[in-house]
Amino acid sequence: PPAVAATGVSKVYGSGDAAVRALHEVSVGFARGAFTAIMGPSGSGKSTLMHCLAGLDTVTAGRIVLGDAEITGMGDRQLTMLRRDRVGFVFQAFNLLPTLTAEQNILLPLELAGRKPDRAWLDQVVDVVGLRDRLGHRPSELSGGQQQRVACARALVARPEVIFADEPTGNLDSRAGAEVLGFLRASVREMGRTIVMVTHDPVAASYADRVVFLRDGVITSELLRPTPDAVL
């Protein structure tokens, strides 16, 4: 089974004359151990789909299954636990805590879940992300690219079933963006993670194994092993 899947998912914001149909009967699965990009023009429903898949938002119709759990129908408390224990997030704005060091930020999800860090795993995460000599630094002492790599390591450290990344390179120059994307790809290849990334950047999407295209709340096409030219 896929790591996370939507079946017949529709999402309507508001009601009556003000209703906005953001997703229309979307069915899509995201394979375990794969890096998938969701692309589409602004307003096509990318963020809404990601938020529904990740249990950040509820669907109007249809089902979302994450791992062995049907999350549609879960209450707020269950969804909060699901996000804490089984999902990792990387956002465009790095969302690090400014008073904590890089290492403390990375370890935060484990701390919140009351779990002990697995040293060998933490070492692997830190090495793959290339932050060994920056662990004691606060976010303000790190470049944007380094901050986003800390955020990626934080998303990874609790070994979530799926990592959701929303425009992870949106605030980075192309070199820093390439480092972050290289790390995301390495975490899939070398660490067996599953990533679903929303982006409008064809170069970013070309790092993925598969690209799913959305338009007006509908999946219009897919591409396997994308190149930047093919994505454009």
Going across the sheet that includes 35-39, the strands are 87-90, 162-166, 195-198, 35-39, 210-215, 218-224
CB atoms within 10 A of CB 216: 14
Among 28, 39, 44, 106, binds ligand ADP (CB under 6 A): 44
Residue 13 as a binder of ligand ADP (CB under 6 A): the answer is yes
Kindly compute the dihedral angle of the four CA atoms of residues 175, 156, 222, 38, in this order, to the nearest 10 degrees.
-70
CB–CB of 45/220 below 8 Å? Answer: no
# residues contacting ligand ADP (CB under 6 A): 12
Q: Which is nearer to ligand ADP, 50 or 157 (CB)?
A: 50
Q: Smallest distance, Å, CB 4 to ligand ADP?
A: 17
Token pair 């701390």: residue: 111
Coil vs helix vs strand at 8: strand
Maximum CA extent, the chain: 55
Q: Which is nearer to ligand ADP, 90 or 122 (CB)?
A: 90
Among 24, 35, 36, 48, binds ligand ADP (CB under 6 A): 48
Residue 47 as a binder of ligand ADP (CB under 6 A): the answer is yes
Give the integer Cα–Cα distance in Å for 49 and 57: 9
Among 45, 88, 160, 168, binds ligand ADP (CB under 6 A): 45
**Phi-psi region at 158: left, alpha or beta (left = phi > 0; alpha = psi -120 to 50):** alpha
Residue 40 as a binder of ligand ADP (CB under 6 A): the answer is yes
Q: Which two tokens stand for residue 64?
A: 């979302």
Which one of 42-50, 118-126, 146-154, 157-165 is the stretch in contact with ligand ADP (CB under 6 A)?
42-50
Which one of 35-43, 94-102, 117-125, 220-228 is the stretch in contact with ligand ADP (CB under 6 A)?
35-43
Q: Which is nearer to ligand ADP, 94 or 134 (CB)?
A: 94
Residue 174 as a binder of ligand ADP (CB under 6 A): the answer is no
Residue 20 as a binder of ligand ADP (CB under 6 A): the answer is yes
Residues in contact with ligand ADP by CB under 6 A are: 13-14, 20, 22, 40, 42-48
